[in-house]
Amino acid sequence: MNSSTTSAGMGFLADEGPRRGLMAWLTSTDHKRIGILYLWSMLAFFMVGVGVGVLMRLVQLDTFHHLVTARTYNALFTVHGVIMIFLFVVPGLPAVFGNFFLPILIGAKDVAFPRLNLASWYFYIAGAILALLSLFTGGGAPDTGWTFYAPFSLQTGTNVTLAVFAAFVLGFSSMLTGINFITTIHRLRAPGMSWFRMPLFCWSLYSTSWIQILATPVLAITLILVMLERLFGIGIFDPTKGGDPLLYQHLFWIYSHPAVYIMILPAMGAISEIMPTFSRKPIFGYTAIAFSSMSIAGVGSLVWAHHMFTSGMSEFANMVFSLLTMIVAIPSAIKVFNWVSTLYKGSIDVQPPLFYALTFIFLFCIGGLTGVMQGALSINVHVHDTYFIVGHFHYVMFGGTGFAFFAALLYWFPKMFGRMYSKKLIIAAWFPLFVGFNMLYFGMLVLGMQGMPRRYYEHLPMFHAGHQVVTVGSWLLALGLVIYLVALIWAARKGPRAEGNPWGGVTLEWTLPSPPITENFEEIPVIDHGPYEFRKGGQHG
């Protein structure tokens, strides 16, 4: 099946049915097409976010300091956060690769609710449009930071109401995707595809979907309350009316901390697919990885108040949340251990996806360890709201999720588009990406340790040198991103045709032609072995 059907057609990429071109894409309920719709829209927003980020860094250089006013700077970091969090990292891997590969990996023809799936994409686009509208209408771009903390978010004259509504709509999209995936995994596994024969990416999507379902509604109601507060003045978060802004922080983080696991879990799942394929060896500790995903989802829902150690909570609450934060590091460490052990005695083939996946592990470790540092109360009170925090979460969100996204895209690109990219160009992109990334964010860790507060438009002369290094890093990083994206966009259009199984993977997607046909399988497969068996049962030895 591999060789015979690979180069023949363009699979699902070719229009079937009455509609052609763009309309055929915008009305398609094929999970693969929806995944690709997400991919392009998300990358577009990502590049906007990158642009805003580079501009913010530029402003920290003396020469360009007066490019924007202090107030615009506030809007910039808010917009950067809102775009990156709500339009890129949260939907990130589930919406693109989850949509495209979840049904294929469990041997199904589509997700459980294909029309709802398309509706989720429209909610996503509607939310994105609202978010962009909020920048130019009303009182102008919101200047609260992406966290919309009360009471400032209730008082500022900028267009917080619309921005918050945009986040609400985006949350709806994310929630519906979660419902869809859980139902899909429960109901549409192929015959013989038992829970523990599912590839680990499916496990990570499963745990992610539960967080999406359990946490997003709390954010939704919090944002509704902010809107009601601004429109009608109900007073719940407003201290002048007897409300309590701390309640806002709690409700906000009850969603937004689990949300960081929405962002990282699918990334970990993708890495768990890449490691065995390029080690030609079953993943080490399958069950441990599967259960660590679930326990991250569980414990991760109980650590939210570690964002609030300096907000005046009780000592006791601080200690409890500090302890829980330490505990949530354990399942993440289990995963890192298992990925590295998978390489041990494997027959390692260093292809671009593995290269980026290893980078993920390295950067994620720095992000994770700095996270444990901040979980300790004694350190947290000193680095709270400094560049250290900014450095830390960029290591996790960008070094972690971002690089895993890049790795996953490199891994599955030939399957999605039926074409291969230039491996040399992708490796060439890695150098500026990696060097720039570490200059930028390790520089931030150092600046934060020295006491540079986050979100400040001005900085003291003692931070000059640090800011220069960090800003130069941002240029290198942006350069690397451009090379990476240009290589892939070119490959999607003009790249040489890819085989059905260019990497020698053994999960179900590699049994299909590249790109797969509409409805994936001509005949639903019957599964009689685990996901990573390279010797028996798999396609390649």
109 or 540: whose CB is closer to another protein? 109
- How many positions of this chain bind another protein (CB under 8 A)? 38
Q: Enumerate the H helices of 159-311 as residue ranges.
A: 160-187, 200-232, 245-279, 286-299
146 or 255: whose CB is closer to another protein? 255
Residue with tokens 């509704």: 224
Among 9, 122, 155, 187, binds another protein (CB under 8 A): 187
CA distance 395 to 389: 10
Segment interacting with another protein, rule: CB under 8 A, options 236-244, 396-404, 429-437, 461-469: 236-244
Q: Provide, rounded to whole angstroms, the least separation between the CB of residue 113 and another protein.
A: 6
The helix/strand/coil state of 359 is helix
Q: Which 8-state DSSP code applies to residue 88?
A: I
Q: Provide, rounded to whole angstroms, the least separation between the CB of residue 242 and another protein.
A: 3
State yes or no: residue 243 binds another protein (CB under 8 A): yes
Q: Enumerate the H helices of 110-199 as residue ranges.
A: 114-136, 152-155, 160-187
CA distance 142 to 341: 46
Give the chain's end-to-end CA distance (angstroms, integer). 16
Q: Provide, rounded to whole angstroms, the least separation between the CB of residue 17 and another protein.
A: 12
Judged by CB under 8 A, the chain residues 458 through 497 that form the site for another protein are none
Q: Provide, rounded to whole angstroms, the least separation between the CB of residue 307 and another protein.
A: 17
CA distance 86 to 174: 9
State yes or no: residue 216 binds another protein (CB under 8 A): yes
Among 235, 245, 504, 525, binds another protein (CB under 8 A): 235
Q: Provide, rounded to whole angstroms, the least separation between the CB of residue 121 and another protein.
A: 17
Which residues are within 8 A (CB) of 320 and not within 5 positions of it... i.e. 6 or more apart? none
Among 164, 251, 308, 491, binds another protein (CB under 8 A): 251
Segment interacting with another protein, rule: CB under 8 A, options 13-21, 92-100, 247-255, 273-281: 247-255
Segment interacting with another protein, rule: CB under 8 A, options 134-142, 172-180, 336-344, 472-480: 172-180
Segment interacting with another protein, rule: CB under 8 A, options 227-235, 281-289, 404-412, 520-528: 227-235
DSSP per-residue codes, 17-58 = SS--HHHHHHT---HHHHHHHHHHHHHHHHHHHHHHHHHHHH
Q: Which 8-state DSSP code applies to residue 413?
A: H
The C-alpha angle 254, 255, 261, rounded to 5 degrees, equals 110
Residue 381 burial (CB count, 10 A): 12
State yes or no: residue 228 binds another protein (CB under 8 A): yes
Among 54, 119, 214, 377, binds another protein (CB under 8 A): 214
Q: Nearest-CA neighbor of 429 among 343, 510, 491, 340?
A: 491
State yes or no: residue 29 binds another protein (CB under 8 A): no
Among 129, 224, 330, 465, binds another protein (CB under 8 A): 224
Taking residues 515 to 534 in sequence order and writing x for each that binds another protein by CB under 8 A, - otherwise, the string is ----x---------------
80 or 189: whose CB is closer to another protein? 189
Judged by CB under 8 A, the chain residues 103 through 132 that form the site for another protein are 109, 112-113, 116
Segment interacting with another protein, rule: CB under 8 A, options 242-250, 342-350, 398-406, 416-424: 242-250
Radius of gyration of the chain, Cα coordinates, nearest whole angstrom: 23
Among 59, 169, 225, 354, binds another protein (CB under 8 A): 225
Among 68, 179, 365, 427, binds another protein (CB under 8 A): 179
Among 119, 126, 236, 343, binds another protein (CB under 8 A): 236
State yes or no: residue 313 binds another protein (CB under 8 A): no
Q: Nearest-CA neighbor of 295 among 252, 334, 338?
A: 334
Segment interacting with another protein, rule: CB under 8 A, options 224-232, 430-438, 446-454, 523-531: 224-232
DSSP per-residue codes, 237-252 = S-GGGT--HHHHHHHH
Alpha carbon separation from 347 to 13, 229, 282 (Å, rounded) = 34, 60, 11
Segment interacting with another protein, rule: CB under 8 A, options 244-252, 350-358, 372-380, 456-464: 244-252
Residue 540 burial (CB count, 10 A): 14
Residue with tokens 């549409």: 188
Which residues are within 8 A (CB) of 495 and not within 5 positions of it... i.e. 6 or more apart? 417, 419, 420, 421, 422
Contact between 351 and 376 under an 8 Å Cβ cutoff? The reply is no
The residues that touch another protein, with contacts defined as CB under 8 A, are: 109, 112-113, 116, 175, 178-180, 182-183, 186-188, 213-214, 216-218, 220-222, 224-225, 228, 232-236, 241-244, 247, 250-251, 254, 519
